[in-house]
Structure 1
């Protein structure tokens, strides 16, 4: 019950209910889902995977909306210093840069739609999670929080799939 009171103060009540429900149901990793845990608690996102160069180049371009607690996960074959831009991307996004262990290294909040300025990870990055702009702050996501997904390598994961 303590988590409920902490969340209600930081997150709209409807979203807090979703987070609590997800927290109870996070027993398994599943394709198309990612879980993030941190001081805020735990949250689950439904994601599309962008693994091929073609999928990664297209990303979330031309989308006019994205459901709440949804996103796109870009997974690379090895850690690298990546840069993203918002070419042909119509909705603001939060870009969550993840290290090889699945820990959040950096969050770029509210990337501006259609802006072609490169947004650099600034550190070796194995994956990037894009979610709706402002969602990272709403949920209280921060550097050091851990992501798990069956799409990520499990051998070095800070929070592996069971």
Structure 2
């Protein structure tokens, strides 16, 4: 009699374990530190890779590239917002000319503002559509490389990977 009870318990335990293992697992969000990383822009010109500083919180976005005196050609700053919105920038306290590549939630470049003028406080808009981010690179570099509207930036904060991307302070 005791053996039957143990077998039943073992069987129930095995069935319960099998059901647990077969249950769908919730998608895990793996935080990515807000630290320099690589982005790739792909288009008809080919591909360009940049090492970027990711700024994804209000304080770091407000600072941006202010007071930076020079930036190597392979560097940039990637501004990422929590949700798509109308974006506008200015060059207050920014000492170097910049190209601003305005990005939708899929990472597609929707607008390029070339050679933003250092220290100019005139608003620079990405247009009327809600956008998710902006990549700032050295002024004139987008044209030199052949980057154009419609090209795509690859980064975990854009496209299908966006749902699992999360930025946490390093």
Question: Hey, what does 1:129 align to over in structure 2?
Answer: 135
User: Matches of 1:50 and 1:155 in 2, distance apart?
Assistant: 18
Q: Which of 37, 45, 53 lines up with 1:48 in the alignment?
A: 53
Given that 1:88 and 1:113 are in contact with CA atoms closer than 8 Å, whether structure 2 keeps it comes out as yes
1:81–1:125 Cα contact (<8 Å) kept = yes
Q: Is the 8 A contact 2:77 2:136 kept in 1?
A: yes
1:101 and 2:97 are equivalent in the alignment: no
- In our comparison, the structure showing a higher alpha carbon Rg is 2
Deviations 1:69-92 (A, max 9, x none): 210000111110010000000000
Q: How much is the aligned-residue C-alpha RMSD, in angstroms?
A: 1.7
- Whether the 8 Å contact between 1:31 and 1:149 is mirrored in structure 2 is no
1:118 and 2:108 aligned = no
CA distance in 2, matches of 1:79, 1:60: 22
What residue is the counterpart of 2:14 in the other structure?
none
Checking the alignment, whether the CA contact within 8 Å between 2:36 and 2:51 is kept in structure 1 is no
TM-score, with normalisation over the residues of structure 2? 0.72
Q: Deviations over 1:120-139 (max 9, x none)?
A: 11121101000000000000
**TM-score, normalised by the number of residues in structure 1:** 0.75
Does structure 2 conserve the Cα–Cα contact (< 8 Å) formed by 1:75 and 1:152?
Answer: no
Cα 1:48–1:156 change in 2 (3 A) is closer
2:76 and 2:57 mapped to 1: Cα distance?
17
Q: Whole-Å Cα distance in 1 between the matches of residues 162 and 81 of structure 2?
A: 15
Moved over 6 A (4+): none
Unmatched 5+ residue regions in structure 1? 1-29, 158-162
1:57 & 1:156 partners in 2: Cα distance? 23
Partner of 2:160: 154
Q: Aligned partners of 2:67 and 2:161: how far apart in 1?
A: 35
